[in-house]
Amino acid sequence: MARVLIIGCGGVANVAIRKCCQVSEVFTEICIASRTVSKCEALAEKLRPTTSTVITTAKVDADNVDELVALINSYKPELVMNIALPYQDLTIMDACLICGVNYMDTANYEPENIDDPEWRAVYDKRCKEEGFSAYFDYTWQWAYKKKFEDAGLTALLGSGFDPGVTQAYCAYALKHEFDRIDTIDILDCNGGDHGYPFATNFNPEINLREVSAPGSYWENGKWVEIPAMSIKREYDFEEVGMKDMYLLHHEEIESLAKNIPDVKRIRFFMTFGQSYLTHMNCLENVGMLSTTPIMYEGREIVPIQFLKALLPDPASLGPRTKGKTNIGCIFTGVKDGKEKTYYIYNVCDHQECYKEVESQAISYTTGVPAMCGALMLLTGKWNKAGVYTVEEFDPDPYIEALDKYGLPHRESHDPVLVD
Ligand code: NDP
């Protein structure tokens, strides 16, 4: 039925691609294109005997719009799935507009070089006006709204778990459980253990940038920013147990604050063990998390990229990781004039994921929603022209697809709240 170009062949893409091949009646043809084409070819070779999806591969530098345009024009897909890095969001959106093709991704734009003076000027202004200092924000991609509308194309932003499923959970709560949502707490718990003293579960550069940045939350119509890891809570997660969790800035807060009417507070918490935090603090203190190039023995290196080369490849954690993830949203609000609470979440088992797709649950919980988002666009269930985040669409068919393809939701009408 549809031909899809998938850009990127890392941890998340590996899961999304395998999932697309499980739904070969919709994903009849896919092209896996990435910087290192040998990885695409290796995966394609492995999957061809298992699926009727016709798989081809291509080499592309997704930072280069001309290369992207040439590839899209020759393959002629109905949809481009960007599962490379957030650095490529804008170039891929540009190429989709030029070629007249729908677009989707799993994370919002951030620049690779945060010292670029042109980007920095816009960033500094936004920090002052908005009050949060994350390097990523939606404004860059929201700026494409009119262009996508005029072209009659859809861009779906952030269809992973968080962002992604968490926003569908919010839309679902608003549609079925509440007349008004007052507070949202998004809780992201990874109870997995990979046995290494320190490793990141997805791209180390993106992951470490995110967790070493100041935290922030939305309250009474504005951002409140706090020093990194300075708000800590404990929570007893179903099938995982008691964990420490820390308040982080997270991208879906920005769109939810716009799209959930009258919401008073939105917070995001992620669990971290003490060993992870101690390693991260130490690496940060010695400058290893810096993205600013330095000269080393006559050669320019970027410290965080060097660190990435030393750390275990997230894709290699799959066979070693045991335990479960538990990610979801707790709401307070009002229904039929009465105050109520509601918790909707998913529990995912690292080893079960590995058995199914040879990958741990972090990539799984992102790759499955990426496929489900694509499914919504390709089957016409989500089809308005413009640039949208997940909560702006009907959550029901998406949650139904997640239930069916590996991430079933659970719910509680009497959850323990986070203070
Ligand atoms: P990886 O680093 O494992 O994979 C990235 C892939 O993109 C690699 O195949 C890489 O190629 C390719 N790539 C990088 N730069 C280019 C380029 N210029 N041109 C073409 N291909 C390129 O990352 P992950 O799979 O862990 O993450 C993928 C995305 O998912 C990221 O945007 C991440 O932020 C997002 N994510 C979202 C989550 C969510 O819940 N919403 C959770 C986790 C991740 P090469 O092999 O050559 O390096």
CA Rg value for the chain: 20
Q: Which amino acid is at 237?
A: F
The answer, yes or no, to whether residue 204 has pLDDT greater than 90, is no
Q: Tokens 């997940």 sit at which residue? A: 390
| Torsion angle of C-alpha atoms 91, 94, 95, 99, degrees rounded to 10 | 170
Taking residues 267-290, report their average pLDDT: 93
Which ligand 1 atom is nearest residue 12's CA? 25
**Ligand 1 contacts CB of residue 192 (under 6 A):** no
| Span of 18-27, 173-182, 316-325, 340-349 with lowest mean pLDDT | 316-325
Q: What is the mean pLDDT of the chain?
A: 96
The answer, yes or no, to whether residue 203 has pLDDT greater than 90, is no
From the CA of 211, how far away is ligand 1's center (Å)? Answer: 17
The answer, yes or no, to whether residue 31 has pLDDT greater than 90, is yes
- Look at residues 353, 367, 369, 409 and name the one whose alpha carbon lies nearest to residue 192: 353
Between these two residues, 352 and 261, which has the higher pLDDT value? 352
The answer, yes or no, to whether residue 45 has pLDDT greater than 90, is yes
Which ligand 1 atom is nearest residue 158's CA? 41
Which ligand 1 atom is nearest residue 84's CA? 7
Which ligand 1 atom is nearest residue 9's CA? 9
Q: What is the pLDDT, as a whole number, of residue 210?
A: 81
Q: What is the pLDDT, as a whole number, of residue 125?
A: 93
The answer, yes or no, to whether residue 315 has pLDDT greater than 90, is no
The answer, yes or no, to whether residue 240 has pLDDT greater than 90, is yes
Taking residues 288-293, report their average pLDDT: 91
Which pLDDT band holds residue 87 (cuts at 50, 70, 90)? very high
Q: Give me the helices (H) in 100-250, please.
A: 117-130, 139-142, 145-151, 165-176, 204-211
Q: What is the pLDDT, as a whole number, of residue 88?
A: 97
Taking residues 249-272, report their average pLDDT: 96
The answer, yes or no, to whether residue 291 has pLDDT greater than 90, is no
pLDDT in tens, 358-400: 999 999 999 999 999 999 999 999 999 999 999 999 999 999 9
**H or E element at residue 362:** helix 361-378
Q: Strand pairing of 154-157 and 386-389? A: parallel
Which pLDDT band holds residue 207 (cuts at 50, 70, 90)? confident
Taking residues 14-33, report their average pLDDT: 98
Q: What is the pLDDT, as a whole number, of residue 229?
A: 92
| Span of 22-26, 123-127, 155-159, 370-374 with lowest mean pLDDT | 123-127
The answer, yes or no, to whether residue 208 has pLDDT greater than 90, is no
What distance separates the 2 farthest-apart alpha carbons in the chain?
69
From the CA of 87, how far away is ligand 1's center (Å)? Answer: 9
Please give the span between the terminal C-alpha atoms of the chain, in angstroms, as a whole number. Answer: 49
The answer, yes or no, to whether residue 209 has pLDDT greater than 90, is no
**Ligand 1 contacts CB of residue 8 (under 6 A):** yes
What's the whole-model pTM score?
0.95
Distance, in Å, from the CA atom of 234 to the CA atom of 362, rounded to the nearest integer, reads 21
Q: What is the pLDDT, as a whole number, of residue 387?
A: 98
Residue of 5, 9, 12 with the most ligand 1 atoms within 8 Å of its CB, for mutation: 12
